[in-house]
Amino acid sequence: MPTPILILGAQPDALVLACDLQRRDIAAQIASPALTPHNNAPPATPETRRVLRDLGFPHTALAHTPLPSLLRDALQHTPAWGQSLRAISQDDTGVTVSFTSGARLRCRYLVASTAEARSLLHTEGLCFQLGRALLIGEAARGHASVEDGIQDAYCLGWRLALALTLPEPDAARLLADYAAERPADLPERVPDAELAWGSLSDELQGTDHVAILFGDGDEVGDAAAALERLPGVHAVVVNTQVDPTGAAAARFRARRPQICLVRPDGRLAWRGYGQPVDRATAFLRLNRPAR
């Protein structure tokens, strides 16, 4: 039986993807010629620190352990080192990777993060997908910073997890969305906001889609309860009691009542006015994380 996901490479972006899939109970296999030397400086951008925090790595941990080591130590399965690539082929049901050792691996989806894999896929220019092969970091861009690769991995992880559970046409559409929005057309990052009980960003951690409902009254509570019953969905009510000044609603440009759906990668997926629970539910049934 083929492995669900094979990741080629051992850069931080490949390891971030493996850690993201692991927390979703998906054991991706990693193959790489060797441990990849990399700049061990802590990631500098708030976007990347936010990703690492969501994966359970506080920024303080990076002060004591280089990022690649921190990520490798978190994996439950040891990557296969010493695997140099020879060929990559694919068909309608999966990808076959051949190594110079004579070993062959079959997977449903391949994720390439290295220039070596990029060359075997015969891609030129900016390319994030080739059939069942998804590309991140330098495999997609030719040259990429650690930060760019980690963001690619974070935007891909939840989609791969969901694709494994979907019928083929829906899985193909979802993965095509990854390629289409990288790198220029990313949806907006959801802003943080301080509420009476703490920071909204704390509610956005984890593997779920998050439904943020702005408004007051029983209808809002009933809508939140309905959405919370969907697998892979967490609902948060932002009413005047927790947002008395309206500052959080203003940051979201929200008009009460309104629903905002946030993807697992912290980006806005959908918004609707007037508590349109049916439309929000229909969207989530196609796009929520797998369980």
- Per-residue pLDDT tens for 178-189? 998 886 667 788
The CATH code for residues 194-287 is 3.40.30.10
- Phi, psi dihedrals of residue 232, rounded to the nearest 5°: 75, 20
Beta bridge partners of 81: 32
Instruction: Give the CATH fold of the 3-181 domain.
Output: FAD/NAD(P)-binding domain (3.50.50)
pLDDT of residue 289: 46
For the whole model, what pTM was predicted?
Answer: 0.87
Q: Where along the chain do the CATH 3.40.30.10 domains lie?
A: 194-287
- 256 or 138, higher pLDDT: 138
pLDDT of residue 291: 43
User: pLDDT tens digits for 144-169?
Assistant: 888 999 999 999 999 999 999 999 99
d(CA 47, CA 266): 10
Q: Which residues contact 197 (CB under 8 A, 6 or more apart)?
A: 242
Tokens of 52: 């690492």
Of 60-64, 104-108, 257-261, the one with minimum mean pLDDT is: 60-64
Q: Where along the chain do the CATH 3.50.50.60 domains lie?
A: 3-181
Of 2-16, 23-37, 196-210, 277-291, the one with minimum mean pLDDT is: 277-291
**Percentage of the residues of the chain whose pLDDT score is greater than 90:** 52
- Phi, psi dihedrals of residue 168, rounded to the nearest 5°: -55, -45
